Amino acid sequence: MSDHYLVTGCAGFIASGVCRCLLEAGHEVLGIDSLNDAYDPRLKHWRLNQLSVHANFMFAQIDITDRAALAGVFAGDRPFGGVMNLAARAGVRQSVTNPWVYQSTNVEGTLNLLDLCQRHGTRRFILASTSSLYGGHNAVPFREDADVTRPLSPYAASKLGAEALAYTYHHLFGLHVTALRFFTVYGPAGRPDMSVFRFVRNISEGDPIVVFGDGSQERDFTYVDDIARGVCAALKLEGYHTINLGSDRPAKLRAMIDMISGMVGREPKIEYRPAHPADVPATWADITRARTELDWSPKVSFEAGLQAAVDWYQAERSWAKELSLGDV
């Protein structure tokens, strides 16, 4: 049976994959996105163009911090079967420079959506959260019941605030809420400010890459299509849940660089800089809950996912090489 879903941040990396997942399952999707310049908007427009071929996809340019515009979206004739809030300001280091926009989008924007769900009878709410909540003091692999009260960046703090508000609306109004904590998502058409895109682009073009620390830090890289499947699977849950979505297979940053170098066929030029205080030394997801509650586990290996990211870049190189990578 088809349903009608609202997906925020639909031109974003993860959200565009979630839209595809829903559309291919026969659902109708209203996607909203501010199309801001947090990173090069050309990539957002490319993803949006890929979605526009689907007859069941509709788009509106709206910022989730604009409560009046959001209210108009909810006032339509057909109620939403669920809201999937993937609109966010992301990025650990950038949040140290401008924490206010993270508070506005990630906390106030989430509050706007939760309140409108409550007012218009939308019962299911999926929140994109982050592994950054686990900070640097928890043992790996990270379990969902670990202490998340010591975030190391304004980005992580804003997501902790969003999770807290989501729980409050579940408690007060009975919304079915699932907060999904994503672990370092990568793949084709990924964010240009993240390491995989940045390294693929710079190694391919013979430009230097910047590594903070010695490259021994580990990340639980998770392929974007696997994440999208997990998000869609969470729509079946009732009650309140926090669930990790990760690969359960951490990789060292230096190993990732070597793999990309081999796929591209060029040696990397590496500039090492001191570790950033907002970065955590390692991420590793315990995905027991995802397996049990969502019947979900990752399908795409890190090697296959990296190759897909490299292949995408090579196919789109004529314009992708011109994308701004933002501040390091």
Instruction: Give the pLDDT confidence of 270-318 residue by residue, as tens digits.
Output: 999 998 887 888 899 999 999 999 999 999 999 999 999 999 999 999 9
According to DSSP, the β-strands at 176-182 and 124-130 are parallel
How confident is the model at residue 281, as a pLDDT? 84
* Per annotation, catalytic residue among 5, 155, 186, 240: 155
Instruction: Give the pLDDT confidence of 194-222 residue by residue, as tens digits.
Output: 999 999 999 999 999 999 999 999 999 99
Task: Tell me the domains of the chain and their CATH numbers.
Answer: 4-186+222-247+283-299 (3.40.50.720)
Average confidence (pLDDT) over 221-239: 98
Rounded Cα distance, 71 and 113, in Å: 9
Average confidence (pLDDT) over 98-125: 97
pLDDT higher than 80, residue 2: no
How confident is the model at residue 328, as a pLDDT? 59
Asked if 243 and 179 count as a contact pair (C-beta separation under 8 A), the reply is yes
155 is catalytic: yes
Residues shown for the chain: 328
User: Which amino acid, residue 103?
Assistant: Q
Average confidence (pLDDT) over 231-248: 97
pLDDT higher than 60, residue 44: yes
Rounded Cα distance, 134 and 143, in Å: 9
How confident is the model at residue 1, as a pLDDT? 52
Task: For residue 9, give every residue at least 6 positions away whose Cβ sits within 8 Å of its Cβ, in sequence order, or none.
Answer: 15, 32, 33, 64, 85, 86, 87, 88, 128
pLDDT higher than 60, residue 261: yes
State the pTM of this model.
0.96
Burial class (CB in 10 A: 0-12, 13-18, 19+), 35: middle
* Model confidence band, residue 186 (pLDDT cutoffs 50, 70, 90): very high
* Mean pLDDT rounded to a whole number for the chain: 96
